[in-house]
Amino acid sequence: MKHTFEEALDIFHYPFFKLLRTAHEVHVQNFDEQSVQISDILSVKTGGCSEDCAYCAQSARNGVKMPKQPLLDLETVLEAARKAKERGASRFCMSASGRCLSSGAEFEKICEMVKSVKALGLETCVTLGFLTEAQAAQLKKSGLDYYNHNVDTSPEFYSQIVSTRTIDDRIKTIEIVQKAGINVCSGGIVGMGETNEDRIKMLVLLANLEIPPRCVPLNKLVKISGTRVDDSNPIDDFDFVRMIALARILMPTSYVKIAAGRNTLSESTQALSIFAGANALFSSEKLLTVDNIKDNADGKLFDKLNLSIENPRL
Ligand code: SAM
Ligand code: SF4
């Protein structure tokens, strides 16, 4: 069923407690409300990117001084994946900076990483920019479970955030990934100067894809000095919870993930978000280039909320 912007706008503006109740009901119909899925993420290739994404420290076009890190070797990646598993992660994500990876030695090494991480008993995810059909097929053969490719914002606001590609280019890659039989992880960033209408339009776009993403990460912008959006207004906490609730209602069977910026949300806002349907988190201390959760803060929060961690679905 296709969703309309008007329907989604109406839901987003429900009285707050009605919205929470509606979203929570959808959540318990489709998932165990006491369980969260945990991922860890590692930047396997960092910086020097030719794209001009306004939020990103890794774009060579932004004024951020970030040392370039070429592709990590397999043993370093496996060491990080083992630690992730010890911390309770069921999925390990590997991220490479860049518009795309050309087929060749680097791509082969990524496939090797996917195979080896999977052999540790973890679900695998990579995010490498654009993909060809042949690359998607090779990743699937290597055991890839998820491909992350965020649409980032609404179609209307997109050109203010990225000019080196279009949102339709992103959707094409999502379709290539799905055709290869790989789950898609796709969401966006909030707090870059977009309106609530833009945020709602982004969720409607994701929900209306032929196959909605299996996982929908919502990143709260981590402001990086030198980027083009480093002075934008942060999203209000209640609007953030409303977004989570709307994502849950529009995409009942997708995992809704609180991704970057979680360390700026209070425990209470995280608890409200989880009640509203968020059921996936990143546990790593770093998310690519920025800080995430420290000192076992999640363990303490999970105890307070009686949450358990989901096992890998291999
Ligand atoms: N180059 C690949 C791509 O663009 O798909 C993968 C790496 S990219 C860094 C992965 C995602 O991280 C982006 O799509 C974006 O949503 C998120 N991200 C990057 N910088 C961020 C920031 N400063 N705050 C919040 N999320 C951010
Ligand atoms: Fe490059 Fe990805 Fe960062 Fe955009 S988000 S600048 S494509 S690394």
Cα distance between residue 222 and residue 53, in whole Å: 13
CA separation (Å) from 67 to 36, 48, 260, 272?
34, 8, 21, 38
Closest approach atom of ligand 1 to CA 149: 5
| Ligand at shortest distance from the CA of 162 | 2
Q: Is the CB of 206 under 6 A from ligand 1?
A: no
pTM for the full predicted model:
0.96
CATH 3.20.20.70 fits 5-301, yes or no: yes
pLDDT in tens, 88-111: 899 999 999 999 998 799 999 999
With 0-12 / 13-18 / 19 or more C-beta atoms within 10 angstroms meaning exposed / middle / buried, residue 201 is buried
Query: Which pLDDT score, from 0 to 100, does residue 269 have?
Result: 97
pLDDT in tens, 41-66: 999 999 999 999 999 999 999 888 88
pLDDT in tens, 5-31: 999 999 999 999 999 999 999 999 999
CA separation (Å) from 14 to 32, 91, 116, 203, 247?
25, 34, 47, 16, 14
Say which residue the tokens 């707090």 belong to.
191
Q: Which residues contact 240 (CB under 8 A, 6 or more apart)?
A: 190, 218, 220, 265, 269, 273
| Predicted confidence (pLDDT) at residue 274 exceeds the cutoff of 70 | yes
pLDDT in tens, 106-138: 999 999 999 999 999 999 999 999 999 999 999
User: Residue 46 C-alpha to ligand 2 middle, in angstroms?
Assistant: 10
Pocket test for ligand 2, best of 45, 50, 52, 56 (most atoms within 8 A of CB): 56
Q: Is the CB of 260 under 6 A from ligand 1?
A: yes
Say which residue the tokens 């994502």 belong to.
247
The mean predicted confidence, pLDDT, of the chain is 94
Q: Is the CB of 95 under 6 A from ligand 1?
A: yes
| 3-state DSSP assignment of residue 183 | strand
| Torsion, CA 239, CA 2, CA 252, CA 266, rounded to 10 | -10
Could you tell me the residue ranges of all domains in the chain? 5-301
User: Residue 47 C-alpha to ligand 2 middle, in angstroms?
Assistant: 8
User: Residue 56 C-alpha to ligand 1 middle, in angstroms?
Assistant: 6
User: Residue 219 C-alpha to ligand 1 middle, in angstroms?
Assistant: 9
Cα distance between residue 271 and residue 68, in whole Å: 37
